[in-house]
Each structure stands twice: as C-alpha cells, then as structure tokens.
Amino acid sequence: MPNMTLALPKDLHREMRRHPEIKWSEVARRALAREVDRLQVYDRLLDGSRLTEVGAIELGRRINARVSSRMP
C-alpha cells in the first residue's frame, strides 16, 4: 500500500495528539475514499455532457442574476 505524507496545522496536530486512541491514518483513509467516491459520482453525471467550463460559468452568472433580481 502506498504511503502519503500530510502537513497539518499545529492546532490540528495538537488536538489529534489529545486522542491517541484514534487511528488517524484510518480516519484519513476513509475521508479520502469518501471524496474519491463523490468525485466518481460527478464524473459519471458529467460523462457525455456537452456543457463546457465557459458555458457553466455563463449559466452560473445567469442563475445568480435571476436569483438577485428576486431578492428584496
């Protein structure tokens, strides 16, 4: 199994050290797996989509403009 090295903020590392009973590598492994699963869902949803990045940005702008026009 490949290894990964992470840089953590001091505050986070200090809090993690307060709980040595937790297998932090397992927590990280599960979090990374969840994120990969989420990205795979997006990839499947977008597979075959003709929407380009420029088109997505334009669509977002239009949606924001419409929502803003409805705000009091």
Question: Measured between alpha carbons, how far is 7 from 59 in angstroms, rounded to an integer?
Answer: 37
> For the chain, which residues make up each domain, given as ranges?
10-70
User: pTM, whole model, 2 decimals?
Assistant: 0.64
Total residue count of the chain as it appears in this document = 72
State the Cα torsion 58-60-63-69 to the nearest 10°: -90
For 6-42, write each residue's pLDDT tens digit: 999 999 999 999 999 999 999 999 999 999 999 999 8
17: left (phi over 0), alpha (psi -120 to 50) or beta: alpha
For 47-68, write each residue's pLDDT tens digit: 888 888 899 999 999 999 999 8
Question: Measured between alpha carbons, how far is 41 from 45 in angstroms, rounded to an integer?
Answer: 6
